[in-house]
């Protein structure tokens, strides 16, 4: 019974945040662009979330006749499943997690690698040249950034001496990891943006050049799954940044731990949206160059130096 409640709670929080982000993102962007944003439906325009959802449900769910039907239908589901599975290992509070895996970090990295399939298959099954180009870009970008996304976390893992997210959070009682692991934090953050293909790294969808990239052919709730999947991805990466580098649910005791976790998560969601509001999209080759020539060496260097210092201190 307790497990069911926790699973329902985690799913509820994750999906509510992801859906609410539709509104949060539009309102925040409008604040940064000196506009008002959606403020008509319900108090502060919060009903916009419900209105958008209803709209998506009632859109015609059209599967193009030239597409590879089973794969086309499956692709959006894969994205949702891989991201939602990862939420299972994220500790929302000291006793508020679905399961404390001793390979939690690896579980997350593996799932995010599987997430690439969703986009590649979606783009491939659409049988559309723009979708295919978008999917190709997405696969290259996500594979590149996955390499050092994992490497940037190894410093944290070494310092916490564990792959388990709960142990990592508890290891930060002496001090949050973003100070000793600052390079790791920066690299993980950039890789996280690329992994969720958010702006400025939204090259797979690049509406200016690729219409909508890999989800050009998707409509109705299948598009909605990609859409919510993207917001779930932001929530996940923000939550993981908070967990891995900013002490997760740790914080002064006048607020419950879950609240601290959500507060930190929301801060990074805000940073994600600020990035979207302020930065232009880099060119494709610039993205690859940044990944392989700057961030990968940085991550490796961080790994080496952290390891050397830890061995020296022992």
Partner 1 sequence: MISILRSMWLTFLHVFHKTETVEYPEVKPYLAPRYRGRIVLTRDEEKNERCVACYLCAAACPVDCIALQAAEGENGRRYPEFFRINFSRCIFCGFCEEACPTYAIQLIPDFEMAEYDRQNMVYEKQHLLISGEGKYHGYNFYKNAGVDMGVKGKGEGHNEEKPVDLKELLP
* Least distance (Å) between residue 274 CB and partner 1: 6
- Report the residue number, 211 or 277, with the smaller CB distance to partner 1: 277
What residues numbered 140-169 form the site for partner 1, per CB under 8 A? Answer: none
Residue 95 or 278 with smaller CB distance to partner 1 = 278
Please report how close the Cβ of residue 145 comes to partner 1 at its closest, in angstroms: 17
Cα(215)–Cα(224) distance, rounded to whole angstroms?
10
Q: Does 129 bind partner 1 (CB under 8 A)?
A: no
Which residue number, 275 or 288, has a Cβ lying nearer to partner 1?
Answer: 275
| Calpha distance 14→236 (Å, rounded) | 8
Footprint of partner 1 on 21-60 (CB under 8 A): 30-36
Both structure tokens of 80: 């949702």
Q: How far is the CB of 159 from partner 1 (least distance, A)?
A: 25
Residue 308 contacts partner 1 per CB under 8 A: no
Q: What's the number of CA atoms in the CB half-sphere (13 Å) around residue 158?
A: 21
Binding test (CB under 8 A) with partner 1, winner from 16, 102, 278, 286 = 278
Nearer to partner 1, 7 or 271 (CB): 271
CA–CA dist 173, 294 (Å, integer): 31
CA angle 114, 12, 176 (to 5 degrees): 70
Q: Provide, rounded to whole angstroms, the least separation between the CB of residue 178 and partner 1.
A: 16
Interface with partner 1 by CB under 8 A: which range of 170-178, 206-214, 272-280, 301-309? Answer: 272-280
CA distance 118 to 105: 21
Q: Which is nearer to partner 1, 31 or 50 (CB)?
A: 31
Integer Cα distance of 233 and 194 in angstroms: 11
State in angstroms the smallest separation of the CB of 186 from partner 1: 10
Which of 15, 258, 277, 288 is in the footprint of partner 1 by CB under 8 A?
A: 277
CB of 300 to partner 1, least distance (A): 19
Chain positions contacting partner 1, by CB under 8 A: 30-36, 274-275, 277-279
């Amino acid at each position: 019974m307790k497990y069911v409640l926790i699973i329902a709670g985690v799913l509820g929080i994750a999906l509510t945040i992801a859906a609410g982000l539709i509104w949060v993102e539009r309102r925040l962007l409008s604040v940064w662009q000196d506009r008002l944003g959606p403020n008509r439906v319900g108090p502060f325009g919060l009903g916009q979330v419900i209105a958008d959802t209803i709209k998506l449900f009632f859109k015609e769910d059209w599967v193009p006749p030239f597409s590879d039907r089973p794969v086309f239908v499956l692709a959006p589901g894969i994205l949702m499943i891989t991201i939602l599975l990862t939420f299972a290992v994220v500790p929302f509070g000291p006793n508020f997690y679905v399961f404390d895996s001793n390979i939690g970090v690896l579980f997350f990295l593996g799932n995010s690698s599987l997430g690439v399939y969703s986009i590649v298959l979606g783009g491939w099954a659409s049988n559309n040249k723009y979708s295919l180009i978008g999917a190709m870009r997405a696969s290259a970008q996500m594979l590149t950034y996955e390499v050092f996304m994992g490497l940037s976390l190894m410093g944290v893992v070494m310092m916490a001496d564990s792959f388990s997210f709960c142990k990592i959070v508890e290891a930060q009682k002496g001090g949050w990891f973003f100070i000793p692991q600052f390079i790791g934090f920066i690299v993980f953050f950039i890789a996280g943006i690329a992994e969720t293909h958010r702006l400025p790294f939204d090259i797979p969808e690049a509406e200016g050049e690729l219409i909508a990239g890999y989800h050009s052919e998707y409509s109705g709730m299948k598009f909605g799954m990609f859409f919510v999947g993207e917001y779930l991805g932001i929530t996940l990466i923000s939550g993981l940044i908070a967990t891995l580098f900013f002490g997760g649910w740790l914080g002064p005791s006048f607020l419950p731990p879950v609240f601290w976790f959500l507060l930190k998560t929301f801060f990074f969601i805000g940073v994600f949206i600020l990035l979207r509001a302020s930065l232009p999209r880099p060119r494709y080759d610039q993205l690859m160059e940044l990944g392989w020539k700057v961030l990968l060496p940085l991550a490796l260097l961080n790994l080496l130096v952290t390891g050397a210092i830890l061995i020296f201190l022992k």
